[in-house]
Amino acid sequence: MKQMTPQQMSPEFNLIQQYFTRPSHHTKLGVGDDAALISPSAGMELAISADMLVADTHFFSDADAYSIGWKSLAVNVSDMAAMGANPKWVTLAIALPEINHAWLAEFSRGLFACAKEFDVDLIGGDTTRGPLTISVQIMGEVPAGQAIKRSGAKLEDDIWVSGCIGAAATGLAHLQKKVVMPAGELQIGLAALHTPQPRVALGLALSTIANSCIDISDGLLADLGHILEASQLSARLDLALIPSLDFIHHNLQQPDFQHYLLAGGDDYELCFTAAKSSREKIVQLSQTLGLPLTRIGATCQSTTDKQAHIIVEYQQQAIHIAKKGFDHFD
């Protein structure tokens, strides 16, 4: 069959070829056919997840297209990290209000920069006209029986988080003119918000250490709550121990800053539980990866109602957080 030139293709297939076709490394058959073909490695299970990002819900519609492209993939890679899986393949479905070549060039550049960073193949997807909406499905490999699940937490496990919590939420608050961040920390907050760094190396290393794990996307309390509900446990946290920016810690007595830290979301750090006997291993892992890993509390027995509760203490007083995290239908 004679191959069509870009000029002979429909606008849809032309933009797929121009912006979303790249050489693949782990794929038998990628973009351009009715379906992709992949061959998982022997002894591996497939971990599969999907996330949808909608303009003006998950990102500002006038945000930098490169950052949107990076984040669209990064949030999915983060799900693989939370399972202890190695990300391999993604599909992309995108609705566009119009064909804007400058926007598509930057969006695809950000998407493929993230794909290169984490060695992921884009293997297919779909495009259509509509309000700007981006849906990515990701697949990764994890050794059979070794995925880190939310349901594995044990009584009196330590609770740990990676990196810096609350920076992205505080950066967003700055953009919304709710706070004024110092210039140096503003850069950290905006980078966390726009170009999150999934903790894949940490997730892979935790597969033999952690009892449970989740990535923090909707807020620390909300996501830790998923672990506790699945494991039928509760937890106690010390607010002052949660790692964050100095700007947040200097204002921790204010409810808004407590919210940014505990419920702001968009962190894409890992929250995991592990036995007390693993503390030395985790400290060594932190040093090896050059990534702060901080112990912020412990799991405890649920009360008689068998509901997962999180008690957050600050200066020896329990504090109340009305909203535990981001709700897509709120």
Judging by DSSP bridges, how do beta strands 234-238 and 293-300 pair with one another? antiparallel
Which amino acid is present at 330? D
Write out the H or E segment, with its range, that includes residue 227.
helix 220-231
Query: Rounded to a whole number, what is the distance in angstroms from the first to the last CA of the chain?
Result: 52
DSSP state of 34: S
Write out the H or E segment, with its range, that includes residue 186.
helix 183-194
Backbone angles phi, psi at 162, to 5 degrees: -95, 155
| Predicted TM-score (pTM) above 0.95 | no
Q: Which residue stretches of 9-144 are H helix?
A: 11-19, 65-83, 101-117
> What residues contact residue 320 under an 8 Å CB cut-off, 6+ apart?
none
CA 51/CA 304 separation, integer angstroms: 35
Which amino acid is present at 174? H
> What residues contact residue 114 under an 8 Å CB cut-off, 6+ apart?
69, 70, 73, 74, 77, 120
Domains and CATH numbers, the chain: 10-143 (3.30.1330.10), 150-319 (3.90.650.10)
Cβ-contact 111, 69 below 8 angstroms: yes
Backbone angles phi, psi at 104, to 5 degrees: -65, -40
List the pLDDT tens digit at each of the 330 positions of the chain.
234 344 444 566 676 666 666 667 776 666 666 777 888 899 999 999 999 999 888 888 888 999 999 999 999 999 999 999 999 999 999 999 998 899 999 999 999 999 999 999 998 888 889 999 999 999 999 999 999 999 999 999 999 999 999 999 999 999 999 999 999 999 999 999 999 999 999 999 999 999 999 999 999 999 999 999 999 999 999 999 999 999 999 999 999 999 999 999 999 999 999 999 999 999 999 999 999 999 999 999 987 666 778 999 998 888 887 776 655 545
Task: Judge residue 193's burial from the number of C-beta atoms within 10 Å of its C-beta, 0-12 exposed, 13-18 middle, 19 or more buried.
Answer: buried
CA 272/CA 286 separation, integer angstroms: 14
